[in-house]
C-alpha cells in the first residue's frame, strides 16, 4: 500500500496542486488553476478536481496520508488591512507610536526583567477596559510588559475577557518567548485578526476534501517552511505569514536534492529570493516584517520584488519603460474569457490612441460592489456598464461620452471593486511561443500598441522588456547575495546602479573601456511557472550554475508535502534577585537554590513542552535536539591562566529545544 500526500498552494495568481508519493518522493500528478481571489473556495475546488481527473488507476484515495496547504491569505490580509476587528489590552505599558488596531486600552500591572510582579493587575480596571471595547471588536489580544518572564497577568486578563465576551483571545506570551514588547504586541494583534480568515479557509479546504471522500489529516505550512496541524493553524494563524514563499524553498530542495543555493520563485505577482543553507532556509531571527510591521514570527528570510508573469508593463508618455509592481490580468487571459474585448483592442490600434496618464491597453474588469463608499454618478454608471462586460478604458470613455483620461477608475481598483487587465510578460511569452494557454492574437495586438507608444518595432519592444526583466532580477539577486537589502540599504540607492548596468546590460554602448563581470558560487535554483523563459539568460549574466527542476511550476505545492514538523522552545536560567537561580519557562518562573537543580528542572520542562507542541502540530516519530549555552563574564578583566573558574560571574544559561517529527504517521 502506497503512502501519498496531497499538496495545495494558493498563490496570488495560480493555485497549484500535486499528488506526492511520500516514500519515493516523486510527483504522481499535478495541476495549476487560476486563483479566484474573490472566492478561494472555488480555486481549491478546481485544483482538487484537476488532480482527481488525472488520478492514477493503480492508487486509491485512502492511500492519501495527509493533505498540506500553503497560502498567501495571511500575508495579503496583513498587507491589505483585512481580517477581524481586534481589541488590544496592554498591561503595564502605554502605547508608543502607531498600533495595528484603533481599538486599544492600557491598564496597570507589569513585571520586571526578572519576572517579579512590580504592580498587581487591577481586574476591575481590566473589566472596564474590556467592556469599553466589547461590541466594537470580534477578537482580543492581550500583551503584558515582560510577560515572557512571567505570563501570570496575561493569563488573568485573558481568562477575564473570555468570561465577559466569549470572543477569541490571544496572549503575547503564547506566540513568542523573545523580548520586544512592541513586536510581541503586534504579533498578538495580527494573530487575533487572522483567526477567522484562516478558520474559514481551512473549513473550505476540509469541506472540499471530505466531499470527495478523502479523510486524511490537514497540515498547514508555516512561514519557516515547517508544518503544523490544522488545529494549531487555527490557534496560531500568524505563523502562516510568508507560508507560500517558504513552501517554494522546501519544494525547490525536494525537486533538486540540493541543500545549498539561492532559491528564486517567480510567480505571477512577485519574485521571491531566499538562501538555502544546510538543507533549510535561512531564517530571519528578528522576525518577519509584513506590511511595514515588525513581528516576532520566525520565518524564512525572504526578499520579495513586485515582478512576475502578470506584472503591469508600462510605457510613459515620454517613452520610459517600467514593469510592476502592480499585478494585472494578462490581455491574453482577458480576451480568452471575454472575446468581445479583441475588437476593443483593435479599436485602440486603429484609432492610434495615445493617453498621457493612462496605459492605452488598460481593460477594467468588475469584481464586486464597493462597501461603505460614496460613489459619484460616473462611478455608479461605470460599475453598471462593467457588470455586464469588461471594457477597455478607451471604449468605456466612448460609452460614457467622457475623455478616458478623466474617468475616475483608480479608486475602484484600489478598493478591489475593479481589477485591471493590460499587457504583461505573460503576453510576451504567448507571442514568443514559450507559453500557449490563452489568446495569442490579443497579446500580439497589445505588444503592437505599446511598441508604437515607445517608438519601437514590436520585436525591439519585446527585447527591451526582456532586458528589463533580466536586469531587475539579476540586480535583486546580487543585492540579496551581498547583503545589501533592508537595513544595509540598496546597491541602487548607494550609487551601485552604474555598476549593475555595467554588469548586466547587453548594450555595447554600456561596456566602455572596462568590462565588469560577476560569478555566483552557489547554484541558482529557479522555480515557478515562467522561469524557463527567463533564467537561462539571467544565470548566464550572473555566471551562476543554474538548476531548473522538472515540475518547477508546481514547486510550491511540492513544498507543502515535503516539509517536517519542527517545534522550538527556549528555557532561560538566571541568577535570582536575592540569591539562588530563576528558571523562566513558557508557563512562568520557578526559583531554586542550586544551579544544576535549576538547569535539570528547565531541561525537564523544556523537553515536555516542546514534545507536546510537536504532538499538537501533528508530528509522529518525534526526536528532540537540545542545545545548552552557559554565559559568564570575568569579574576583574584579565585573569591569570588557571584561575578563570574562580573569577567567573554567571550571567545566564539558555537551553534551546527543537522537536522534529514526520508530519504523517502509519496510523493516519
Contact 88, 102 (CB under 8 A): no
Distance, CA of 118 to CA of 545 (rounded, Å): 58
Chain segment 510-543, per-residue pLDDT in tens: 556 666 778 888 999 999 888 999 999 999 989 9
CATH number at 81-193:
3.40.250
Element (H, E) at 276: strand 271-277
3-state secondary structure 610-668: HHHHHHHCCCEEEEEEEEEEEEEEECCCCCCCCCCHHHEEEEEEEEEEEEEEECCCCCC
Residue 340 CB coordination number (10 Å): 11
Distance, CA of 629 to CA of 631 (rounded, Å): 6
CA angle (158 as vertex; 153, 163 as ends), nearest 5: 130
pLDDT at 499: 61
Strand order, beta sheet including 329-330? 329-330, 418-422, 363-366, 391-392
CATH number at 565-662:
3.30.110
Please, which residues have CB within 8 angstroms of residue 539's CB and are 6 or more apart in sequence? Answer: 524, 526, 545, 546
pLDDT at 668: 45
CA angle (259 as vertex; 254, 260 as ends), nearest 5: 130
Rg (CA), the chain: 28
In terms of pTM, does the model score above 0.85? no
Specify the 3-state DSSP secondary structure of 131: helix
Distance, CA of 104 to CA of 172 (rounded, Å): 15
Distance, CA of 224 to CA of 288 (rounded, Å): 10
Chain segment 416-425, per-residue pLDDT in tens: 889 999 999 9
Contact 58, 78 (CB under 8 A): no
Contact 365, 334 (CB under 8 A): yes
Low-confidence ranges of the chain (pLDDT < 70): 37-38, 80, 95, 484-515, 635-647, 666-668
Distance, CA of 421 to CA of 392 (rounded, Å): 9
666 phi and psi angles, rounded to 5 deg: -65, -25
pLDDT at 637: 55
Distance, CA of 285 to CA of 121 (rounded, Å): 32
Element (H, E) at 28: strand 26-34
68 phi and psi angles, rounded to 5 deg: -130, 140
Distance, CA of 389 to CA of 373 (rounded, Å): 22
Specify the 3-state DSSP secondary structure of 313: strand
Distance, CA of 444 to CA of 430 (rounded, Å): 8
* Grid cell locating 327: 499585478
Q: First-to-last CA distance in the chain?
A: 13
Specify the 3-state DSSP secondary structure of 488: helix
Specify the 3-state DSSP secondary structure of 185: helix
Distance, CA of 184 to CA of 579 (rounded, Å): 30
Of 462, 180, 430, 132, give the one whose Cα is nearest residue 295: 180
Compute the half-sphere exposure of residue 609: CA atoms within 13 Å on the CB side of its CA: 21
Specify the 3-state DSSP secondary structure of 587: coil
Structural domain spans, the chain: 81-193, 311-462, 565-662
Q: Is the dihedral of CA 540, 541, 547, 553 positive or negative?
A: negative
pLDDT at 501: 63
Spell 401-418 as b/e; 16+ CB within 10 A means b: eeebeebebeebbeeebb
pLDDT at 6: 95
Please, which residues have CB within 8 angstroms of residue 164's CB and are 6 or more apart in sequence? Answer: 127, 130, 131, 134
pLDDT at 511: 57
pLDDT at 79: 72
Distance, CA of 659 to CA of 610 (rounded, Å): 6
CA distances from 260 to 110, 253, 545, 639 (A): 45, 9, 12, 42
Specify the 3-state DSSP secondary structure of 20: strand
Q: Which long-range contacts (CB under 8 A, 24 or more apart) does 516-520 make?
A: 517/543, 518/478, 518/542, 518/543, 519/543, 519/544, 520/262, 520/477, 520/481, 520/544, 520/545
Distance, CA of 45 to CA of 652 (rounded, Å): 53
pLDDT at 242: 86
Specify the 3-state DSSP secondary structure of 518: coil
The residues facing 653 across adjacent strands are: 573, 630
Distance, CA of 505 to CA of 470 (rounded, Å): 9
* Grid cell locating 343: 475588437
Specify the 3-state DSSP secondary structure of 254: helix
Spell 365-377 as b/e; 16+ CB within 10 A means b: bbbeebeeeebee
Amino acid at each position: 500500500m502506497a503512502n501519498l500526500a496531497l499538496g495545495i498552494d494558493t498563490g496570488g495568481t495560480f493555485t497549484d496542486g500535486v499528488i506526492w508519493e511520500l516514500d519515493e518522493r516523486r510527483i504522481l500528478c499535478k495541476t495549476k488553476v487560476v486563483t479566484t481571489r474573490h472566492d478561494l473556495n472555488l480555486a481549491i475546488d478546481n485544483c482538487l478536481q484537476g488532480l482527481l481527473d488525472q488520478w492514477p488507476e493503480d492508487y486509491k484515495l485512502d492511500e492519501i496520508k495527509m493533505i498540506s496547504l500553503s497560502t498567501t491569505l495571511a500575508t495579503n490580509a496583513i498587507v491589505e488591512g483585512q481580517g477581524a476587528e481586534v481589541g488590544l489590552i496592554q498591561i503595564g505599558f502605554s502605547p508608543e507610536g502607531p498600533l495595528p488596531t484603533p481599538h486599544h486600552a492600557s491598564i496597570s500591572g507589569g513585571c520586571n526583567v526578572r519576572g517579579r510582579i512590580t504592580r498587581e493587575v487591577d481586574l476591575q480596571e481590566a473589566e472596564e477596559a474590556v467592556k469599553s471595547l466589547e461590541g466594537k471588536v470580534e477578537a482580543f489580544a492581550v500583551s503584558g510588559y515582560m510577560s515572557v518572564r512571567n505570563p501570570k497577568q496575561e493569563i488573568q486578563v485573558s481568562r477575564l475577557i473570555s468570561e465577559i465576551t466569549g470572543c477569541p483571545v490571544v496572549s503575547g506570551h503564547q506566540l513568542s518567548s523573545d523580548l520586544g514588547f512592541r513586536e510581541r504586541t503586534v504579533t498578538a494583534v495580527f494573530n487575533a485578526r487572522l483567526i477567522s480568515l484562516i478558520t474559514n479557509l481551512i473549513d473550505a479546504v476540509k469541506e472540499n476534501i471530505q466531499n470527495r471522500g478523502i479523510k486524511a489529516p490537514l497540515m498547514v505550512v508555516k512561514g519557516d517552511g515547517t508544518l503544523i496541524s490544522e488545529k494549531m493553524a487555527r490557534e496560531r494563524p500568524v505563523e502562516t505569514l510568508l507560508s507560500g514563499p517558504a513552501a517554494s524553498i522546501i519544494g525547490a530542495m525536494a525537486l533538486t536534492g540540493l541543500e545549498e543555493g539561492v532559491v528564486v520563485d517567480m510567480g505571477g505577482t512577485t519574485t521571491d529570493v531566499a538562501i538555502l543553507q544546510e538543507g533549510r532556509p535561512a531564517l530571519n531571527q528578528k522576525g518577519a516584517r509584513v506590511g511595514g510591521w515588525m513581528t516576532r514570527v520566525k520565518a524564512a528570510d525572504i526578499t520579495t520584488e513586485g515582478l512576475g508573469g502578470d506584472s503591469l508593463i508600462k510605457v510613459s508618455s515620454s517613452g520610459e519603460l517600467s514593469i510592476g509592481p502592480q499585478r494585472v490580468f494578462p490581455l491574453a487571459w482577458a480576451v480568452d474569457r471575454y472575446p468581445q474585448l479583441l475588437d476593443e483592442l483593435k479599436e485602440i490600434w486603429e484609432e492610434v490612441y495615445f493617453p498621457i496618464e493612462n496605459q492605452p491597453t488598460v481593460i477594467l474588469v468588475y469584481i464586486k460592489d464597493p462597501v461603505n463608499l460614496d460613489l459619484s454618478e460616473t462611478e455608479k454608471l461605470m460599475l453598471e456598464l462593467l457588470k455586464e462586460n469588461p471594457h477597455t478604458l478607451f471604449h468605456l470613455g466612448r460609452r460614457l461620452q467622457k475623455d478616458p483620461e478623466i474617468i475616475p477608475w483608480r479608486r475602484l481598483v484600489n478598493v478591489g471593486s475593479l481589477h485591471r487587465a493590460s499587457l504583461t510578460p505573460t503576453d510576451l511569452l504567448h507571442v514568443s511561443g514559450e507559453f500557449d494557454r490563452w489568446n495569442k492574437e490579443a497579446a500580439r495586438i497589445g505588444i503592437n500598441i505599446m511598441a508604437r507608444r515607445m517608438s519601437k518595432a514590436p520585436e525591439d519592444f519585446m527585447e527591451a522588456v526582456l532586458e528589463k526583466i533580466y536586469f531587475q532580477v539579476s540586480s535583486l539577486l546580487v543585492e540579496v547575495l551581498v547583503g545589501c537589502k533592508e537595513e544595509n540599504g540598496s546597491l541602487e540607492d548607494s550609487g551601485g546602479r552604474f555598476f549593475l548596468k555595467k554588469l548586466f546590460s547587453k548594450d555595447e554602448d554600456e561596456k566602455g573601456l572596462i568590462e565588469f563581470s560577476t560569478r555566483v558560487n552557489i547554484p541558482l535554483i529557479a522555480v515557478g511557472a515562467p522561469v524557463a523563459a527567463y533564467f537561462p539568460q539571467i544565470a548566464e549574466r550572473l555566471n551562476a550554475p543554474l538548476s531548473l527542476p522538472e515540475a518547477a511550476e508546481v514547486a510550491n505545492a511540492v513544498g507543502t508535502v515535503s516539509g517536517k514538523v519542527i517545534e522550538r522552545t527556549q528555557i532561560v536560567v538566571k541568577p535570582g534577585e536575592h540569591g539562588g537561580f530563576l528558571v523562566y519557562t513558557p508557563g512562568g518562573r520557578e526559583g531554586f537554590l542550586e544551579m544544576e537543580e535549576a538547569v535539570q528542572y528547565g531541561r525537564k520542562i523544556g523537553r515536555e513542552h516542546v514534545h507536546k507542541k510537536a504532538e499538537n502540530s501533528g508530528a509522529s516519530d518525534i526526536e528532540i535536539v537540545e542545545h545548552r549555552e552557559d554565559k559568564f563574564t570575568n569579574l576583574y578583566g584579565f585573569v591569570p591562566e588557571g584561575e578563570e573558574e574562580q573569577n567567573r560571574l554567571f550571567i545566564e544559561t539558555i537551553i534551546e529545544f527543537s522537536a522534529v517529527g514526520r508530519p504523517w504517521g502509519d496510523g493516519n
